[in-house]
């Protein structure tokens, strides 16, 4: 880690580990000063600027955060953990905008997924067969539509949401309620390894943090914060999933609920949400229809991060047993070499002005579909030599702009052909 970045990391830890501060205060400070290290340098001015109370300033200046910060930084360095800071260009804008965003995240896997349009799927750890089949079907269809599936790496609904997304052409993000060096639950070891290859694992908690109950509401705000909406698949009235739904509403997210059998208490929470105005979900189209405006806005490319070939972290140190507790520059793109078909050589089914607003990957996809009728997604991926998850995301974004039409069986064509 470069000295300047390490200073920013340590300053971020200082803000987070100061007992008198919380995420809402971190956000005010980081928004005002731009970087954590600048905020720390001007701690004596926080109160005068209306950014913190006097007792918070006093607590910070005492330096009670020093021991925890030193220990955490040393542990993260020893274990080779990758960190995402508020000041990093690829810190997700959607997460930055929530009322109480994390000052930093530890992560392993495909960091680029943080810029993908995402849907959170949450529900009971001890789910019914009905719930398991429902989340399997929905997660697969959402993944096929190019939306990343976010969940909490727990047993039951969470696990199946991750697994089903990874079985298809999509991807998944797991948000932990523990440190990145703890595998919890232990039964998810296989899922962890799949996420390292196809997905992303993130946490805001320090190395060694155990799965205490108080951690999970904090985790839940990140699950919903990374997502355009939250689908509650199966949940009782008193459950963590309803806490996530409540947090999602505070963040301005769409909330969806799956109705279940009326005689099953494990669906009382879903029925409560529907009565309160959550969107009732019968098919994935119910979700895509509600998210259409946000999906169009989410098409902006993500700024590449500065870390090249980051290590993937394997939590073999501690395994815990479960308990019930802007546009791309010309050149190579993620889909391979960019097509350079001149505008006047194209059969114009998309007007030229619209075509020029597309990024190079989208233009290449349009050119591929231009002379074809219905094409299966597998043939599109093969024809473009593109990563399936990338192609499916592009198709979704073009569909949301009414430029591409999707047919049953994952066939696609340009609109108007």
pLDDT of amino acid 293: 79
In a domain, 245, yes or no: yes
Q: Are residues 261 and 140 in the same domain?
A: yes
**pLDDT tens digit string along 32-44?**
999 999 999 999 9
**pLDDT tens digit string along 106-156?**
999 999 999 899 999 999 999 899 999 999 999 999 998 889 999 999 999
Q: What distance lies between CA 294 and its chain's CA centroid?
A: 14
Q: Are residues 56 and 114 in the same domain?
A: no
What's the CA gap between 13 and 28, in Å, rounded? 16
Q: Are residues 237 and 123 in the same domain?
A: yes
pLDDT of amino acid 297: 60
User: Could you tell me the CATH number of the domain that includes residue 193?
Assistant: 3.40.50.450
In a domain, 320, yes or no: no
| Structural domain span for residue 210 | 104-297
In a domain, 205, yes or no: yes
In a domain, 220, yes or no: yes
In a domain, 171, yes or no: yes
Q: Are residues 129 and 272 in the same domain?
A: yes
The pLDDT-based confidence of 192 (bands split at 50, 70, 90) is very high
Q: Look at residue 30 and tell me whether its pLDDT is greater than 60.
A: yes
Q: Are residues 58 and 201 in the same domain?
A: no
Q: Are residues 150 and 40 in the same domain?
A: no
In a domain, 303, yes or no: no
In a domain, 322, yes or no: no
pLDDT of amino acid 170: 83
Overall number of domains in the chain:
3
Q: Are residues 136 and 270 in the same domain?
A: yes
Q: Are residues 404 and 289 in the same domain?
A: no
User: Could you tell me the CATH number of the domain that includes residue 388?
Assistant: 1.10.10.10
Q: Which two tokens stand for residue 200?
A: 């992303």
Nearest Cα residue to 301 out of 393, 173, 175? 393
**pLDDT tens digit string along 271-321?**
999 999 999 999 999 999 899 877 766 544 433 333 333 444 455 444 444
Last residue of a domain, one of 26, 61, 78: 78
pLDDT of amino acid 400: 67
Give the N- to C-terminal CA distance of the chain in Å, as an integer. Answer: 52
The residue with greater pLDDT, 321 or 409, is: 409
In a domain, 287, yes or no: yes
Q: Are residues 255 and 122 in the same domain?
A: yes
Last residue of a domain, one of 78, 113, 134: 78
φ, ψ of residue 327 to 5 degrees: the values are -70, 155
Q: Are residues 160 and 257 in the same domain?
A: yes
Q: Are residues 278 and 351 in the same domain?
A: no
Q: Are residues 352 and 284 in the same domain?
A: no
Mean pLDDT of 234-241: 89
């Amino acid at each position: 880690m470069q000295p300047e970045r390490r200073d920013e990391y340590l300053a971020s830890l200082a803000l987070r580990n100061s007992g008198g501060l919380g995420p809402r205060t971190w956000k005010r400070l980081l928004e005002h000063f731009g970087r954590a290290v600048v905020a720390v340098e001007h701690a004596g001015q926080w109160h005068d600027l209306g950014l913190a109370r006097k007792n918070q300033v006093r607590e910070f200046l005492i330096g009670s955060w020093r021991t925890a910060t030193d220990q955490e930084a040393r542990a993260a360095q020893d274990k080779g953990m990758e960190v995402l800071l508020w000041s990093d260009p690829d810190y997700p804008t959607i997460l930055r905008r929530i009322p109480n965003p994390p000052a930093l995240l530890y992560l392993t896997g495909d960091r680029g997924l943080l810029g993908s349009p995402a849907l959170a799927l949450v529900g009971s750890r001890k789910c019914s067969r009905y719930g398991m089949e429902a989340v399997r079907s929905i997660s697969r269809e959402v993944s096929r539509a190019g939306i990343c599936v976010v969940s909490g790496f727990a047993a039951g609904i969470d696990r199946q949401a991750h697994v089903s997304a990874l079985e298809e052409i999509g991807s998944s993000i797991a948000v932990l309620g523990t440190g990145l060096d703890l595998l919890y639950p232990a039964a998810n070891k296989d899922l962890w390894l799949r996420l390292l290859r196809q997905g992303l694992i993130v946490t805001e908690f320090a190395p060694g943090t155990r799965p205490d109950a108080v951690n999970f509401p904090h985790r839940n705000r990140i699950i919903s914060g990374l997502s355009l909406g939250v689908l509650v698949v199966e949940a009782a009235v008193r459950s963590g999933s309803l806490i996530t739904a409540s947090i999602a509403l505070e963040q301005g997210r769409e909330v969806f609920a799956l109705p279940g059998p009326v005689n099953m208490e494990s669906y009382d929470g879903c029925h409560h949400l529907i009565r309160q105005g959550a969107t009732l979900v019968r098919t994935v189209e119910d979700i895509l229809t509600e998210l259409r405006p946000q999906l169009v806005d989410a098409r902006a490319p993500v700024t590449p991060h500065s870390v090249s070939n980051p290590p993937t972290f394997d939590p073999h140190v501690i395994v815990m047993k479960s308990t019930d507790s802007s546009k791309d520059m010309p050149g190579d793109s993620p889909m391979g070499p960019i097509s350079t078909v001149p505008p006047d050589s194209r059969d114009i089914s998309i007007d030229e002005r619209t075509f020029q607003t597309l990024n190079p990957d989208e233009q290449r996809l349009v050119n591929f579909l231009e002379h074809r009728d219905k094409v299966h997604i597998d043939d599109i991926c093969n024809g473009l030599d593109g990563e399936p998850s990338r192609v499916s995301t592009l198709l979704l974004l073009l569909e949301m702009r009414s430029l591409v039409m999707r047919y049953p069986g994952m066939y696609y064509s340009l609109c108007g052909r």
